[in-house]
């Protein structure tokens, strides 16, 4: 099939590349000329395991191309994916300006039937707005061309995006148009051959499903983070509690890890957008409002622990940060807890040296030139002369470090373990002072 992907970020690029891998001819459009230049030079502007190989293979096979030329992009695809950003507006609601601009650019140029697919995460009712925007542009041209709008929210996880797209748990299609549903079934059939994981529903339910999924995952994290606060007070170990409840199949183990708060481009903005959308309907989503508040507090938990240990005036103190990205295997720094932690430690007078395996260029771009802050080439280098190590992102390379080397490099053998990666009893034996999250009885 001929597919156009509008927006070549994490979602658009992965979608385009994976569809090309199955034999489709895909043209990816972005308004960011620099991104397209990088892609056309065979490089990938984001860090996503396995993506570069797929992109290079399909570019070489002539099935995947990149452009900033809107006319060419609209002309190319019968199926037009919209995968542009939907950042939070000032009041937390989803800003649809990029989605609607993409819809208008299709309506203004299309010369044949199109299936327009909302892949961005968008509030309930957006498909109607997209349909109206396209129809308005067609009317302006006096055109009566047929088109369909479909909702196909994306559930990939950054860091495992290619794998998730290739082996989806489910594919949600919101559609009220039989032909468009048929096209979508055909497009996705290679991904669901032996196990039909396609769930077809009405447009509004499909749009809602994406928010519901992210809201549920964020809720599990905030729930455990709050229980971790209590576990510390009452002398229980949240890691044991996690295993204890996760073994119940009604609960399961996923997304029950207490830590330094969730971040990324999705959970924070989608929870806010859902709360805001509900408010506009006169419905108060109290649980979700609390999920968001609990997460804001959680981003400060490591700083609070540092202050409890070293005092509120951190002048003259130096800290090593391991991990900056909001989670492992990505360079995405959007809403990363590390941003709050670094800035807060510096505000309290400390100097900070950080290391992240891939997110340092992106962190440099986001943080700019921060005084009292430096990046290190290697994890061990960040430790030198530090009063403590603060582990923020659980990259694999931090899971089993050389604890003797850590102890030798630090001025004081203190570790703030923001992702509960280290066993408190082992740390004690090794002579390291360990501060985990919610590890009351283990500490």
Footprint of ligand NAD on this chain (CB under 6 A)? 6-12, 29-32, 35, 83-86, 98, 101-102, 120-121, 154, 156, 158, 265-266
Among residues 45 and 349, whose Cβ is nearest to ligand NAD? Answer: 45
Among residues 137 and 154, whose Cβ is nearest to ligand NAD? Answer: 154
**Cα dist from 138 to 5, 133, 141, whole Å:** 21, 9, 5
Among residues 65 and 86, whose Cβ is nearest to ligand NAD? Answer: 86
Report the half-sphere exposure of 259 (CA within 13 A, side-chain side).
20
Cα distance between residue 402 and residue 413, in whole Å: 13
Min separation Cβ 201 and ligand NAD, Å: 18
Greatest Cα pair distance, the chain, in angstroms, is 78
Q: Give the rounded distance of the alpha carbon of 400 from its chain centre.
A: 25
188 SS3 class: helix
Min separation Cβ 141 and ligand NAD, Å: 19
User: For residue 236, which phi and psi values (nearest 5 degrees)?
Assistant: -115, 165
Contact status, residue 407 vs residue 384, Cβ threshold 8 Å: no
Cα distance between residue 29 and residue 192, in whole Å: 27
Cα distance between residue 89 and residue 355, in whole Å: 32
Would you give the end-to-end CA distance of the chain in angstroms?
A: 58
Among residues 32 and 374, whose Cβ is nearest to ligand NAD? Answer: 32
Min separation Cβ 266 and ligand NAD, Å: 5
Burial of 254 (0-12, 13-18, 19+ CB in 10 A): exposed
Among residues 12 and 323, whose Cβ is nearest to ligand NAD? Answer: 12
Question: Which pair of tokens denotes residue 291?
Answer: 């999920």
Min separation Cβ 17 and ligand NAD, Å: 13
Min separation Cβ 353 and ligand NAD, Å: 29
Min separation Cβ 87 and ligand NAD, Å: 8
Q: What residue is closest to ligand NAD based on CB?
A: 9
At a CB cut-off of 8 Å and minimum separation 6, what does 175 contact?
Answer: 148, 150, 151, 181, 184, 200, 202, 203, 206
Q: Which of 18, 28, 266, 376 is catalytic?
A: 266
Nearest to 79 by CA among 110, 117, 109: 117
Among residues 85 and 424, whose Cβ is nearest to ligand NAD? Answer: 85
Cα distance between residue 371 and residue 112, in whole Å: 55
Nearest to 393 by CA among 313, 316, 337: 337
180 SS3 class: helix
Nearest to 390 by CA among 337, 440, 311: 337
Go through the chain and tell me how many residues it has: 443
Among residues 205 and 441, whose Cβ is nearest to ligand NAD? Answer: 205
Question: Which pair of tokens denotes residue 191?
Answer: 């991904």
Determine whether 28 is an active site residue: no
Residue 293: CB atoms within 10 A of its CB come to 11
Question: Which pair of tokens denotes residue 246?
Answer: 């996760």
At a CB cut-off of 8 Å and minimum separation 6, what does 22 contact?
Answer: 190, 191
Among residues 158 and 335, whose Cβ is nearest to ligand NAD? Answer: 158
Min separation Cβ 389 and ligand NAD, Å: 29
Which residues are part of the catalytic machinery?
Answer: 266
């Amino acid at each position: 099939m001929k597919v156009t992907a509008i927006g070549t970020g994490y979602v658009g690029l992965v979608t385009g590349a994976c569809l090309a891998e199955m034999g489709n001819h895909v043209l990816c459009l972005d308004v960011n000329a620099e991104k397209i230049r990088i892609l056309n030079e065979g490089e990938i502007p984001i860090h996503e395991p396995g993506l570069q190989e797929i992109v290079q293979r399909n570019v070489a096979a002539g099935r995947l191309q990149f452009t900033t030329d809107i006319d060419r992009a609209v002309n190319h695809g019968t199926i037009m994916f919209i995968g542009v950003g939907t950042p939070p507006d000032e009041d937390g609601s989803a800003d649809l300006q990029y989605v609607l601009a993409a819809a208008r650019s299709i309506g203004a140029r299309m010369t044949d039937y199109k299936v327009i697919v909302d892949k961005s995460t968008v509030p309930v009712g957006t498909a109607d707005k997209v349909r109206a925007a396209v129809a308005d542009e067609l009317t302006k041209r006096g055109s009566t061309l047929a088109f369909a709008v479909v909702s196909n929210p994306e559930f990939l996880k950054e860091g495992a995006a290619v794998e998730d797209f290739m082996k989806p748990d489910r594919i949600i299609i919101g559609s009220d148009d039989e032909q468009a549903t048929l096209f979508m079934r055909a497009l996705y059939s290679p991904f669901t051959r032996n196990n039909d994981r396609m769930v077809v529903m009405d447009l509004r339910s499909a749009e809602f499903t994406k928010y519901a999924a992210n809201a549920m995952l964020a809720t599990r994290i905030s729930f455990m983070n709050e229980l971790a606060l209590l576990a510390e007070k009452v002398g229980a170990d949240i890691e044991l509690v996690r295993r204890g409840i996760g073994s119940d199949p009604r609960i399961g183990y996923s997304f029950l890890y207490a830590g330094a708060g969730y971040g990324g481009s999705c959970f924070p903005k989608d929870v806010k957008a859902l709360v805001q959308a509900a408010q506009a309907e006169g419905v108060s989503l109290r649980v979700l409002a609390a999920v968001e508040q609990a997460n804001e507090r959680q981003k400060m938990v490591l700083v609070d622990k540092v202050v409890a240990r070293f005092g509120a005036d951190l002048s003259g103190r130096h800290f090593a940060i391991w991990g900056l990205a909001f989670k492992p295997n990505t360079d995405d720094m959007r809403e990363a807890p590390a941003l709050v932690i670094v800035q807060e430690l510096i505000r309290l007078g400390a100097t900070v040296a950080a290391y992240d395996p891939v997110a340092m260029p992106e962190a440099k771009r986001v943080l700019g030139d921060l005084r009292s802050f430096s990046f290190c080439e290697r994890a061990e280098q960040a430790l030198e002369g530090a009063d403590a190590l603060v582990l923020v992102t659980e990259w694999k390379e931090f899971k089993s470090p050389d604890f003797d080397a850590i102890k030798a490099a630090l001025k004081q053998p203190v570790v703030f373990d923001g992702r509960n990666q280290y066993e408190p009893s082992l740390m004690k034996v090794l002579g390291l002072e360990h501060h985990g999250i919610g590890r009351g009885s283990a500490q």
